[in-house]
Amino acid sequence: MLLSVGYFLTCALLLATVHCYHEFISHIPSGDSVTHPCEPSQPWHGVGHYNPQGGGHLNPFGHDFQAAGRQWTQELCWHDSDGDGLTNGFELGDPYCQWHQGLQPTWTGNVTHPGIHNVEGCFPRARQAVH
C-alpha cells in the first residue's frame, strides 16, 4: 500500500512537471523545436534547464526567463543568455523580437539552444582552454 502511494505521488509530480514544461514551451518562440546542441536529433524539452528532460538546475536562459516573469519579453529576446554571440531571439527563430504567444516565429527549423553555448556546450574543455 505504501509503495502504491509513493508511486502515485511520483507520477503526479512527474505529470505536473511535464505539464509545466509544456506550458512554458508555449511562452517562447520555437519552444518545442529546441534540440540538444551536440545531438540535433534529440529534443531538449526543458529549455531553461541543464537537464534536457527538465528539472534540476537552471541554465543561463532559464535564469533570464525566470527573471523576465516566465514571459518572452523584448529584453529577454535581445539578450544573449549563453554568451555565444547570438541573441535568444535569433536562436529561437525570432530575430527581430516580434513574436507573441500564439504566432508563428520567423523560422522554426534550425533553431539553436539559447541556454547552452552551441560550441562550448559540446566541448567543455575548449571553454576551459579559452578562459
Helix, strand, coil share of the chain (percent; to 5) = 35, 5, 60
Is 64 one of the binding residues for Ca ion (CB under 5 A)?
no
Stretch of 16-24, 37-45, 70-78, 80-88 lying at the interface with Ca ion (CB under 5 A): 80-88
In the list 28, 76, 86, 111, the residue contacting Ca ion (rule: CB under 5 A) is 86
Q: Residue 56 in 3-state DSSP? A: coil
Stretch of 48-56, 58-66, 76-84, 121-129 lying at the interface with Ca ion (CB under 5 A): 76-84
Cβ pair 78, 87 in contact under 8 A: yes
In the list 29, 47, 82, 105, the residue contacting Ca ion (rule: CB under 5 A) is 82
Is 77 one of the binding residues for Ca ion (CB under 5 A)?
no
What minimum distance in Å lies between the beta carbon of 114 and Ca ion?
Answer: 5
Q: How far apart are the first and last CA of the chain?
A: 54
Cβ pair 15, 9 in contact under 8 A: no
Residue numbers of the site for Ca ion (CB under 5 A)?
80, 82, 84, 86
